[in-house]
Amino acid sequence: MKEFNRLIVAMSTAMFLVCSLMIVTGPERLPDIENGVRLAVIGDFGKAGIPVIQVAKMVRSWNPEAVVTVGDNSYPSGSYRDLFFGIYPYYSWAIRSEKLVTTLGNHDWGYPWDEGWDSDEIPLLKALPYLPGNGRYYSVLFGDNLVEAFIIDTDPREPDGIEEDSTQGQWLKNGLSHSTATYQLIFMHVPPYSSCLFGDNSSVSWPFQEWGAEAVFAGHCHNYERVMKDGFPYFVNGLGGHPGLTEFEEITDGSTVRYVDNFGAQLIEATQEKMTISFITIDGDTIDYYEIYSK
């Protein structure tokens, strides 16, 4: 048994080193945007394997100011062991520079345990002490006040609630009303609208547009979708590397783009004039492109 344990440790170490080398030796990086900011968005990625390596290499080549996640950062239960295998080999470069900005998913809360982690003992938040506020929901400014990202927690175990009139909901409403950034973006895990098996979720369908946001980004479904509601975009981005892809089922109203054939990430590029949002696969194909002009 001792020999077996040593073998497991050796194999794990070798995998860590190989993954790190593959990411470090990725493609040439994009130059900085003049008077702008570049962000990457990844979702449902925290599981060791070739897809997450490929997504991480692509994302690092974009030279983003931050990598914003939409949850499920480590599978299956968000433990410290899961973090070691699901995040560190691929995104340690972003963690070291405090560029990994995370949203909590159900797996980060301890799924499939019914009780999960206590809100002040979630391993992901312990591992990323630089996250603002309580780490579960907070806001971050990017690009000299160009973009303000509002991270919210959609898990039912959130002690400050997930309804519109909850403590968390009113925090978001107040934050959006006082934001002076050019663009306000919402990042969450469970999508308000989707065509995957989970469908729409009224609990987290807050009046984001009315409150002043420009777009909502979510994950949970392991596919990509853009849903338009009254001219307002809701993105589902769950192709960050988990191999269990989610097929589309009942198509929700407003579904404009649907994709599930390959892994990828979203690239956000913002200037004072406009923001572009693209979903790009690991093969370099642009599946979706969306523009938002400043107010």
| pLDDT tens for each residue of the chain, 295 residues long | 444 334 333 344 445 545 544 544 455 778 778 789 999 999 999 999 999 999 999 999 999 999 999 999 999 999 999 999 999 999 999 999 999 999 999 999 997 766 789 999 999 999 999 999 999 999 999 999 999 999 999 999 999 999 999 999 999 999 999 999 999 999 999 999 999 988 899 899 999 999 999 999 999 999 999 999 999 999 999 999 999 999 999 999 999 999 999 999 999 999 999 999 999 999 999 999 999 999 8
Quick one: which of 71, 128, 136, 68 has its CA closest to 105?
71
Report the distance separating Cα 221 and Cα 254, nearest Å.
17
What pLDDT is stored for residue 7 in this prediction?
33
Domain residue extents for the chain: 2-293
The reported pTM is 0.91
Quick one: which of 145, 159, 155, 148 has its CA closest to 70?
155
Rg of the chain over all Cα atoms, to the nearest angstrom:
18
Helix, strand, coil percentages (3-state) for the chain, rounded to 5, are 25, 25, 50
Tell me the CATH number of domain 2-293, given options 3.20.20.150, 3.30.590.20, 3.60.21.10, 3.40.50.300. Answer: 3.60.21.10
Report helix, strand or coil for 206: coil
Report the distance separating Cα 158 and Cα 121, nearest Å.
13
